[in-house]
Amino acid sequence: MTDSIPAQSRAHEIAIESLLAEDRTFPPPAAFAAQANVQDPAIYERAAADLEGFWAEEAATLDWFKPWDRVLDWEPPFAKWFEGGQLNVSVNCLDRHVAAGKGERVAFYWEGEPGDRRVLTYADLLAEVCRCANALRELGVGRGDRVAIYMPMIPEMPIAMLACTRIGAPHTVVFGGFSAEALSDRLNDSAAKVVVTADGGFRRGKPSGLKVNVDAALATAPSVEKVLVARRTGQDVTMAEGRDVWWDDLVARQAATSEPERMESEDMLYLLYTSGTTAKPKGILHTTAGYLLGVATTHRYVFDVKPDDVYWCAADAGWVTGHSYIVYGPLANGTTGVLYEGTPDFPDPGRWWEIVARYGVTILYTAPTAIRAHMKWGPRHADAHDLSSLRLLGSVGEPINPEAWIWYHRHIGGERCPIVDTWWQTETGGIMIAPLPGLTTTKPGSATRPFPGVEADVVDERGEPVPPGEGGYLVLKKPWPAMLRGIYGDPERYASTYWSRYPGMYFPGDGARRDTDGDYWLMGRVDDVMNVSGHRLSTTEIESALVSDERVAEAAVVGRPDDLTGEAIFAFVIAKGDIETSEALGQELRQHVAARIGPIARPKTVMFTPDLPKTRSGKIMRRLLRDIAADRPLGDTTTLADAAVVDTIRDASRAGKDEE
Ligand code: PRX
């Protein structure tokens, strides 16, 4: 199956949106620039002139069991980086820091939602990771076996991830908010042998079950042989004899040392599933050396991390942001990090700022949707805490609207902290377009420049570069170390999704424009992928969840602009002939989607409609549906089979309202 990329007209929408010019600029403060990790702008030319030399120099900062023979082997679209080299990710993240006498440095300040706390030094973390690695080996996990991790944000989550890397078992982390069914799909696609989970996690003061979902998922996931269960909430769980083991029983009694596997550079490090334009999530495959190098380097340069920083990436490790910038990048750099289990407004909207003040956080990395939530709660919560330790702020997940950027700058950064708006994706592994904070003049809403060595462009339908100021499609023209190596089990889908639209160029699915300074402004997805609160959701996946309810004949899902979440899910539903539609049915369908995929996929609005606008060849015209959902003037309707349909839907839409 291939991901199709329709909606050419979306580029026009984008071009029009891009007329909203933002002209404020923020040069790096002199004092910041003077201490920055990167101060010489020649880094860009150096990397462009000698891509392999640039990355080879950076790669020398990692610990290798055996040096590589060759930096890059590029047979588009398949790249191999640092072939012949051998290394271990956990050794790079832990052992080498301990060996260098930094064992007492804090790796994580962990804070649970109820307020419990734990401090793990690098020495502590290494010991725990070794114990867990030994435990996994005892459960029969060997090099190459896949381990699924379905956990709350407790220290055991990064411990389990690192333990997998120690024994060469690729992990696949499934976000704890996903349903049993979504978990089961991922267990099956990856043929996972072991699941690491917890009894549950805390969410807004209440324990929510995880083990119960694992039990349900395992009914349809025969590859799983063992389940390792950490105790978090103390809630009742069922333990299957011979299959399920408590972390406390198995891990605690293991030795605190464990021989690391010597991994090849291109050995699989992990799989992470993400939504594409079809109903089937893609298992994005990352390998060992290039990925570690990419995240460590970008973390050091974009966040300007120093040994005495306290760095907090307020994401969940279940998403790629957490993989790259909570776990692997920061630990490879020996950084002290904060790990927080809960929501930003529990028990009140001051919680984050209390954490910043308590640990003296110096660098904060979060998503625009969270910033907008804080804006809504008001600056008084931040004002009530001492945020003077902060020196750099980051943003990721979706385009940041200038209003949120300025609020972040003023109320959180005290107008002194540079903001790095970082564009990247699960597939890119690490940051691709972002300021270097000691060099780059930032502009609210622009991710600014491609990272050194990244060659980007904005092109039209034919793949020709567009002039400055014009909207088009973002492409990447050179391979990079942390790039995905494929979609698990589906090389064809990998080639067709990312590399076929413009031969020789990587197409990430985003619209963009470049201004006359060469700065990039990202303008959202151009395919059938929505971005809700910085999380990617496929319209098709939600549609197929909707039609799996027997009362639904057809469904079309689009994203509608939303002040808080960026986009909100709007579902147009045609009920089967004999079904009476009602608000209650709409609620049931929303709940049905949440149960099938997870609460993040619950449509904000379900609108029943007698018909959907289709082209004469029967293709649903999503662009029109997007216009209707957003209550915008309709674009071109000439290819519509029955023009009356849109009027009917539009009237119904205007009469209806959000169901939340
Ligand atoms: O559309 C872009 C948007 O998020 C997509 C990637 O989503 P995901 O793989 O879930 O990873 C999110 C965290 C890296 C991109 O294709 N996106 C991410 N960061 C930005 C962004 N859009 C604009 N500006 C950003 N800084």
Q: How far is the CA of 340 from the centre of ligand 1 (A)?
A: 22
- From the CA of 529, give the closest atom in ligand 1: 1
Instruction: Number of helices (H) and strands (E) in the chain: give both, helices first.
Output: 23, 30
- Hey, where are the domains in the chain? 1-88+286-526, 529-654
Q: Would you state the pLDDT for residue 653? A: 77
Positions of the chain with pLDDT lower than 70, given as ranges: 1-21, 656-660
Other beta carbons within 10 angstroms of residue 243's beta carbon come to 13
Q: What is the pLDDT of residues 137-176, one digit of tens each?
A: 999 999 999 999 999 999 999 999 999 999 999 999 999 9
Right CATH number for 529-654 from 3.40.1130.10, 3.40.50.720, 3.30.300.30, 3.40.50.450?
3.30.300.30
Mutating to test ligand 1, I would choose from 271, 299, 398 the residue with most ligand atoms within 8 A of its C-beta, which is: 398
- From the CA of 447, give the closest atom in ligand 1: 26
Q: Would you state the pLDDT for residue 11? A: 45
Q: Would you state the pLDDT for residue 152? A: 97
Q: Would you state the pLDDT for residue 7? A: 41
Closest CA relative to residue 25, chosen from 427, 443, 361: 443
- Concatenating the DSSP letter of every residue in 560-615 gives EEETTTEEEEEEEEEEPTTPPP-HHHHHHHHHHHHHHT-GGG--SEEEE-S---BB
Q: Are residues 545 and 590 in contact, defined by beta-carbon separation less than 8 angstroms?
A: no
Mutating to test ligand 1, I would choose from 531, 532, 533, 600 the residue with most ligand atoms within 8 A of its C-beta, which is: 531
Q: How far is the CA of 287 from the centre of ligand 1 (A)?
A: 21
The interaxial angle of helices 211-218 and 180-190, nearest 10 deg, is: 60
- HSE (CB half, 13 Å, CA atoms) of 161? 29
Q: Would you state the pLDDT for residue 21? A: 61
- From the CA of 426, give the closest atom in ligand 1: 9
| Dist. CA 214–CA 183, nearest whole Å | 8
H helix runs in 279-349, sequence order = 288-302, 320-322, 329-332
Q: 2 phi and psi, to 5 degrees?
A: -115, 150
| Dist. CA 35–CA 43, nearest whole Å | 16
Q: How far is the CA of 634 from the centre of ligand 1 (A)?
A: 27
| Dist. CA 652–CA 51, nearest whole Å | 56
Q: How far is the CA of 43 from the centre of ligand 1 (A)?
A: 25
Compute the C-alpha angle 227/228/231, nearest 5°.
Answer: 130
- From the CA of 508, give the closest atom in ligand 1: 16
Residue nearest to atom 21 of ligand 1 (CA): 398
The radius of gyration computed from the CA coordinates of the chain, to the nearest angstrom, equals: 24
Mutating to test ligand 1, I would choose from 536, 537, 538, 600 the residue with most ligand atoms within 8 A of its C-beta, which is: 536
Q: What is the pLDDT of residues 477-492, one digit of tens each?
A: 999 999 999 999 999 9
- As a whole number of Å, the end-to-end CA separation of the chain is 35
285: part of which helix (H) or strand (E)? strand 282-287
- Examine domains 1-88+286-526 and 529-654 and report if their fold is the same: no
Residue nearest to atom 25 of ligand 1 (CA): 423
- From the CA of 524, give the closest atom in ligand 1: 1
Q: How far is the CA of 611 from the centre of ligand 1 (A)?
A: 33
Q: Would you state the pLDDT for residue 656? A: 60
Q: Are residues 247 and 213 in contact, defined by beta-carbon separation less than 8 angstroms?
A: no
Q: Which one-letter DSSP state was computed for residue 29?
A: P
Regarding pTM above 0.75, the answer is yes
Whole-Å CA distances, 6 to 451, 484, 634: 29, 23, 18
Residue nearest to atom 4 of ligand 1 (CA): 397
Mutating to test ligand 1, I would choose from 299, 320, 396 the residue with most ligand atoms within 8 A of its C-beta, which is: 396
Q: How far is the CA of 284 from the centre of ligand 1 (A)?
A: 15
SS (H, E, C) 394-455: EEECCCCCHHHHHHHHHHHCCCCCCEEEEECCCCCCCCCECCCCCCCCECCCCCECECCCCC
- Concatenating the DSSP letter of every residue in 105-122 gives SEEEEEE-TTS-EEEEEH
* Residue 278 Ramachandran class (φ > 0 left, ψ -120 to 50 alpha, else beta): beta
Residue nearest to atom 12 of ligand 1 (CA): 397
Q: How far is the CA of 550 from the centre of ligand 1 (A)?
A: 34
- From the CA of 324, give the closest atom in ligand 1: 14
What CATH code is assigned to 1-88+286-526?
3.40.50.12780
Q: How far is the CA of 114 from the centre of ligand 1 (A)?
A: 30
Q: Are residues 133 and 107 in contact, defined by beta-carbon separation less than 8 angstroms?
A: no
Closest CA relative to residue 152, chosen from 201, 111, 203, 119: 201
List residues near ligand 1 (CB under 6 A): 274, 320-321, 396-399, 421-426, 447, 508-510, 522, 525, 531, 535-536
Closest CA relative to residue 13, chosen from 659, 630, 660: 630
* One-letter identity of residue 128: E
